[in-house]
Chains A and B, each alone.
Chain A
Amino acid sequence: MRADLAESHRRSLAHVGAVGAHFTAEQRLRIATVARDAYLEADPSPPWARLFDEPALDVAYRLARHAGTITEQWYEQIISEGMHPLEWVEIVGIVIATVPVVAFARAAGLPSPGFPAPGSGAPHGRVAHELAPATLNWVPVAAPADQTASVVQALSALPDEWDNLWQLAGAQYMSDAQMADPLWNRGTLSRPQMELTAGRISRIRECFF
């Protein structure tokens, strides 16, 4: 395993175990644990099952295991039940900080890394300076909206989650800037081999985007 990738994954799990904008570190680790277990579960529950008495954990489960089944209607339903849209964004940030670390270990045949001890303190409430509704995402984003690609602005409402997403992408795949060069590659795979691998897993996951 490359040293930069190992460090990126270590940072991501440390991020999961730290206090977030809306959730305590203990809450974040519960969400991450549900996401990890859902991803690895041999016999998963169906997408529509609400297995937990906390909506945050239901969202984590479905996103980790059945992401392609999530609809705007279900997002609106969860929000109408009382979840704040930025709590939803933070859950997405926690799940995507956890799943790739677990997925890499499983794919490479390595033991799944453990979570760190939780940090202490109350949620810090740090959000983007100004928020705006987006037409390219369901969730609110940092203003001005829709000036960049939807996946780029997706977590921009919560700077800590956005930073972690892109530090992971930079180590696992490539940065935004490197993406602009169709021949850029890292390591042993050529760029077309990287894109074949990326395209096939995205197709299997039935990701519209």
Chain B
Amino acid sequence: MLSWSSNEAGTPADLAAIAEGAGDGGLPFGAELVAFADAVGGFDDLVLGSARERLRAAAGDEFLADAAAVLANFEMMTRVADGTGARFPAETAPHRTTLDHRLDIGRFTSSR
């Protein structure tokens, strides 16, 4: 989705930001967004407080709230997928090989 939307927007994104949490993905406030996502995923409230204030200072209150909403949504969707054993149709596998390798998805327990 990131590749698709960023290409359509004319600013192809760097997937290292998703795969390794490195850099800014080539997007405004990208580094702050990645740090915020990492902090929400990390369960250390001190780290989260720091990442939240960094994003707020850089991009403002509304941006922070909209980013938190997207994170909340994917805290939901990942659990829908993991809790119901969601799978991709087999015929889509060849199209996903490169991305799966880039994100190291094969080692995830949820891929079993």
Contact = CB atoms under 8 A, between A and B. Distances in A.
A31 interface: no
A189 B79 contact: no
Interface centre among B29, B52, B78, B89 (most CB of A within 10 A): B78
Given A89-B84, A139-B84, A198-B71, 14 more contacts: A100-B72, A107-B40, A108-B68, A109-B52, A169-B77, A173-B73, A183-B5, A187-B66, A189-B70, A191-B5, A193-B27, A195-B6, A196-B33, A196-B34
B67 A42 contact: no
A150 B112 CA distance: 16
Interface residues of B, number: 70
B75 A201 contact: yes
A200 interface: yes
B30 A154 contact: no
Contact of B108 (A135, A186, A207): A207
A154 B78 contact: no
30 contacts: A67-B110, A69-B109, A92-B80, A103-B72, A103-B75, A104-B69, A104-B71, A104-B72, A107-B72, A136-B86, A136-B87, A150-B87, A155-B80, A173-B70, A183-B9, A187-B62, A187-B66, A188-B66, A189-B66, A191-B5, A191-B9, A193-B33, A193-B67, A195-B13, A197-B36, A198-B74, A207-B78, A207-B82, A208-B81, A209-B78
A183 B7 CA distance: 10
B21 A200 contact: yes
Contact of A100 (B62, B66, B73, B87): B73
A72 B82 CA distance: 10
Interface string A62-76: 011001111111010
A70 B110 contact: yes
A190 interface: yes
Contacts of A202: 74, 77-78
A195 B78 contact: no
A207 B100 CA distance: 11
A14 interface: no
A95 B30 contact: no
A182 B4 contact: yes
A106 interface: yes
